[in-house]
Chains A and B, each alone.
Chain A
């Protein structure tokens, strides 16, 4: 039995030269310590991205959501053909995302578990600098945890984790976003201890490098609703084009909100996803509590232009 198992697993290998990529990334980190080289790296990254974008746009996208190309395909065969052509007919892996079923996603982490993981858990690779309990009427946040770590892209960073129910109605980070989400609190109930903002700053300059916010709610029917906001100042986190296999979803479409934001709305097995993005900012929603038409209605209330603009 053991030998058969060994043979079965032996057919699996990474699809790309990961070792070379790791060495390159590690070298880039060393180079980052030199300011002039840092700027150079950044320019190179931008140039590469521009090239990548141009390459992609040779093919006509079905939609372009704030510089992200969205391609829809009816069959896997059509998608495979397209991606192979994009890769210059090389046999690179075909990438297609398939949604989990609702049952599979039942084991998904809840907003409370997420908050607890970051606020109470042991954070591997991070050194805890301080932990505080706040007065929400004065500080906004209820709990604050500050850690330090070596980030693979940014180098030494300081992470600030802020939890508090106020983040169910607003996501405010100076210089990044001032997003009023209070409408959601009128439509559903915020989860207790289910809201967290993580702000990562450069240790030396204090520059905000990334922000991750998660707010959990429950609908009147008791169904979960998770709102996520992401900001990342590094173009290295650019997400490439999105390929959608129509048959993998019950519905998949781009919906334009009343404030002129294009949102990718997908549904499958009673679940609805909504994603609005630009280069640095992404808003994502996952729920089992709304139908697609209800989600569209909700999106019109969310001031998405304010969030990702």
Chain B
């Protein structure tokens, strides 16, 4: 179990990653907040010994994906509409790009691989391991995601 100080440092370093992954999965600010809180609490309480910072991040991503699954497995899951979050300080609209909007318009499976591959920089093999999918599936999902993003962004142009 990390000390309070160690935990604060780890949390500050990785909190945004956890939140962004959760948001990519769930498309809901409040759900992503809740998942982030749960995951960080798990980090604070874990007795697991980590070899490195990369190991911590990998573990956090696995736990985040599991927590997200718990939410989307629920029969009564409801989605907060992205366009229904007006004037949020936390979601800086000036930076909130067309690209992010395009990513969020993709199916969940594409959003998640996009985040892990492009944002986190994991390889196809690492992404496949994190998601428990064959590498070929991740490769196909990335290809399709790129095609759909391109299509979406072309359509949106005036």
Contact = CB atoms under 8 A, between A and B. Distances in A.
Contacts of B151: none
Contacts of B76: 228, 273, 275, 284, 286
A100 B26 CA distance: 12
A286 B38 CA distance: 26
20 contacts: A2-B118, A5-B99, A5-B114, A9-B20, A9-B100, A9-B115, A11-B100, A19-B8, A19-B15, A21-B37, A22-B11, A23-B4, A91-B87, A94-B84, A95-B80, A98-B79, A100-B78, A108-B73, A152-B45, A248-B81
A134 interface: no
- A contacts with B: majority SS: mixed
Interface residues on B, range: 35 or more
A4 interface: yes
A18 interface: yes
Interface residues on A, range: 35 or more
Contacts of B99: 4-5, 7-8
A125 interface: yes
Interface of B: 4, 8, 11-12, 15-16, 19-20, 23-24, 29-30, 32-33, 36-38, 40-42, 44-45, 63, 66, 73-81, 84-92, 95-97, 99-100, 103, 114-115, 118-119, 121
Sort A-B residue pairs by CB-CB distance and give the 4 closest, nearest first.
A5-B118, A97-B78, A11-B95, A15-B90
Contacts of B77: 100, 108
Contacts of B8: 19, 23
Contacts, number: 145
B32 A14 contact: yes
- B contacts with A: majority SS: helix
Contacts of A2: 118, 121
Contact of B33 (A11, A14, A117): A14
Contacts of A8: 97, 99-100, 103
A76 interface: yes
B78 A98 contact: yes
Contacts of A152: 38, 41, 45
B95 A10 contact: yes
B16 to A, nearest CB: 6
Contact of A97 (B37, B80, B92): B80
A22 B40 contact: yes
Given A8-B99, A13-B16, A14-B90, 10 more contacts: A4-B99, A7-B99, A11-B91, A15-B91, A22-B11, A22-B41, A26-B41, A108-B75, A108-B77, A150-B45
Contacts of B114: 5
Contacts of A9: 20, 24, 100, 115, 119
A91 B89 CA distance: 7
A100 B96 contact: no
A124 B59 CA distance: 13
Contacts of B79: 97-100, 104
- Central interface residue in A4, A9, A109, by most chain B CB within 10 Å: A9
A58 interface: no
B41 A25 contact: yes
A114 interface: yes
B41 A12 contact: no
Contacts of A80: 86-87
A125 B85 CA distance: 34
Contacts of B36: 14, 18
A98 B31 CA distance: 13
B88 A15 contact: yes
Contacts of A11: 91-92, 95-97, 100
B78 A76 contact: no
A96 interface: yes
A1 interface: yes
A168 interface: no
A93 B41 contact: no
